[in-house]
Homo-oligomer: A and B are copies of this chain.
Amino acid sequence: MAYNKKEEFTQKEQDLAAFAKAMSHPARIAILKVLAQRNECICGEIVDLLPLAQSTVSQHLKELKTAGLISGSIDGPRSCYCIDWKAFEKFNNEFNFLFTKLKVNNEKACC
């Protein structure tokens, strides 16, 4: 694109979009699912569960971490990851505020 216009939107809009973006790939949904079920998980186990190369999984993990959806710590030669529940709660609140609360006023759809 000629210019990147993302900065011209409000911070909340950007934050919500960034969170959604982190979840916008099935591989990352799958990773989050595993982490949600196990509380903690070693990178290698995730690699075994996904149909992707190790380097690709590592990249997805990095994206999730950068976006703040998960946290990770080094555990000897391994890396342990888990979900940042607080971030999810925050997103869920924002999301519901935008798209559920307002629904009450507008039941009758026009189209």
Contact = CB atoms under 8 A, between A and B. Distances in A.
Interface centre among A16, A100, A105 (most CB of B within 10 A): A16
A33 B38 CA distance: 35
A54 interface: no
A40 B110 contact: yes
A47 interface: no
Nearest to A99: B88
Given A16-B29, A92-B99, 17 more contacts: A6-B26, A13-B33, A17-B25, A21-B24, A29-B98, A32-B99, A33-B98, A36-B103, A36-B106, A37-B102, A38-B106, A39-B108, A39-B109, A40-B111, A72-B111, A75-B111, A82-B109
Interface of A: 5-6, 8-10, 13-14, 16-17, 20-21, 23-30, 32-33, 36-40, 51-52, 71-73, 75, 80-85, 88, 92, 95-96, 98-100, 102-103, 105-106, 108-111
